Amino acid sequence: MNNGQGPGGGNGYDHHGISLLGGWLPISVQIVAGVLLVLAVGWRTRRWRLLWLPVGAAVGALGALAAMASFDASGLATDPAPVWLWVWTGLTLFALAVAVLGWPGTRWWRRGVSVLAVPLCLLCAGVVTNQWVGYFPTVQQAWGEVTAGPLPDQVSADELGPLQGHGETMTTGRVVGVDIPDTASHFAHRMEYVYLPPAWFTGSRHPALPVIMMIAGEFNTPADWIRTGNALPTVDHYAQTHGGFAPILVFVDAGGTFNNDTECVNGPRGNAADHLTGDVRPFLVSQFGASPDPQRWGIVGWSMGGTCAADLAVMHPELFDTFEDIAGDLGPTVGNKQQTIQRLYGGDAAAWARFDPVTVLARHEPYTNTAGWFDDSNTAGNGPRPGARRPPPGGAAGGYGGHRDGGGGGGGNQEAEARQLCAAATADGIQCTVHTQGGGHTWQFASQAFADALPWMVSRMQPAGP
């Protein structure tokens, strides 16, 4: 597995710049924060050492334990968070207690150090979280996200017309922001993005190209697959080696806001499913000339998005024939079953059943042309496990018998759930395979998984294409 670097090189948002996932910067930030915290504590008076310092330590320890318990109860991740996240959470609270409790009678410079130690410890917690999920590989990428800078190869809608007829000379596709009407769903969403390959700009008329819907993880923006998931170098590389041909990619908004975990279902958190099926798909057909044929539509999802990809495909075989589930869960999940029913569906158990893929598969007649690729991380090594065969070009191999944002361990629960879901899908006529690769539950893993599966997806979606 690479460090988020897909085939075909970089685009300014992948592996170039100062790393936030390793190297000198993350460890330097933590060392500086630790030194400042030690200076803030100091030796001071006997009363300070015997009374207020233990009180501050208790505040930090209890706060870290409370944060850990709240995180576990929230269902935000199925894998455990790294220990250092809770260490720095506790140290942040400890630093705050030191600043407050030690303020009276303290020299001005120690007061300044005490105040500075608080945000630095908080920053360390953020650094560890980022290393856990791989959201910002570099400083430059983080700055581009924070400042909402332009995406690689982004153009306005007005610039698409003059580019028509120049596809043969283009080495990369173009990205355009779109405001898709929410007519079918009334789902309040952010700007979404469409990638158009060079083939779309060839000739006087747009070809009816296949489309892959790209869904990000739980805490997300529609641009995450572009800025962090390295999707553009991957699809551009495919186009460069196939005469400019590649599928259209649509980077959708499944949450509406950064921290709204819809799991792509309809419920109190918004009609995300209706938006993806009833708003996005018709818009791509009408505005960009995409093919309406379900055989030429696929879905790729990472983490929560992986759950969405499998769920939408089994619920709507009339809309999507091909999907890749990258480290998703067995079904839409925000805690245990009862918590999920309450949080996602407002207590409606029947709604839970309508969106639970295992239940859908059990009730559905055999599928005729649906195929899926499950990919999960595994620290033991790269490649598929024995029995999980890579499919040959042109179709999926036989089924293998048998998350979320965060979770550095890899393998484990989600791999077992992928096997279980693949087995249920296979029993109902869906061709599927389970694949694993080394690494944790990070965007870099997702990037490589997409690069691995893209040729297989296109071979199914455009069998007569180049």
Q: What is the pLDDT at residue 414? A: 75
Tokens of 220: 């997300």
The one-letter amino acid at 143: W
Domain ranges of the chain: 24-133, 152-461
Distance CA(225)–CA(135), nearest Å, equals: 10
Cα 6–Cα 11–Cα 14 angle in degrees, nearest 5? 55
Residue 30's nearest CA partner among 126, 96, 112 is 126
Position 393 pLDDT exceeds 70: no
In contact, 245 and 457? CB cutoff 8 Å = no
For 271, the 3-state DSSP assignment is: strand
Quick one: pLDDT band at residue 51, thresholds 50, 70, 90? very high
| 3 state SS of 248 | strand
Mean pLDDT score, 405-427: 72
Q: Output the six-digit token pair for 250.
A: 């649509």
Mean pLDDT of 206-225: 92
User: Is CATH 3.40.50.1820 the right assignment for the domain spanning 152-461?
Assistant: yes
Query: Which uninterrupted H or E stretch holds 177?
Result: strand 174-178
User: In this predicted structure, what is the pLDDT of residue 146?
Assistant: 74
Q: 3-state class of 184 per DSSP? A: coil
List the structure tokens of 288: 């960009």
pLDDT at 254 over 60: yes
Distance between CA atoms of residues 218 and 251, nearest Å: 14
The answer to whether 287 and 295 have CB atoms below 8 angstroms apart is no
Which whole number is the average pLDDT over 121-128?
95
Does 455 score more than 90 pLDDT? Answer: yes
CB 230 within 8 A of CB 141: no
Per-chain mean pLDDT for the chain: 86
Question: What is the end-to-end Cα distance of the chain in Å, rounded?
Answer: 28
Q: Using an 8 Å Cβ cutoff, are 435 and 390 in contact? A: yes
Residue linked to tokens 């859908």: 360
Backbone angles phi, psi at 256, to 5 degrees: 85, -40
Least confident among 133-137, 303-307, 368-372, 461-465 = 461-465
- Please tell me the distance from the alpha carbon of residue 437 to that of residue 206, in angstroms, as a whole number: 37
pLDDT at residue 347, as a whole number: 96
Give yes or no for residue 35 having a pLDDT over 70.
yes
Q: Would you say residue 299 has pLDDT above 90?
A: yes
- Give the residue among 304, 298, 305 at the shortest CA–CA distance from 319: 298
Comparing 129-143, 200-214, 239-253, the range with the smallest average pLDDT is 129-143
Flag whether pLDDT at 371 surpasses 50.
yes
Query: For residue 220, what pLDDT is reported?
Result: 84
Look at residue 163 in the predicted model and tell me its pLDDT.
94
Global confidence as pTM:
0.78
Q: Which of 234, 306, 327 is nearest to 14 (CA)?
A: 234
Per-residue pLDDT, 462: 83
* CA pair distance 381, 306, nearest whole angstrom: 21
pLDDT for the residue numbered 140: 80
Q: Look at residue 9 and tell me whether its pLDDT is greater than 50.
A: no
Type of residue found at 133: V
Q: What is the pLDDT of residue 74?
A: 65
Q: How many Cα atoms occupy the beta-carbon half-sphere of 259 within 13 Å?
A: 2
pLDDT value at position 77? 62
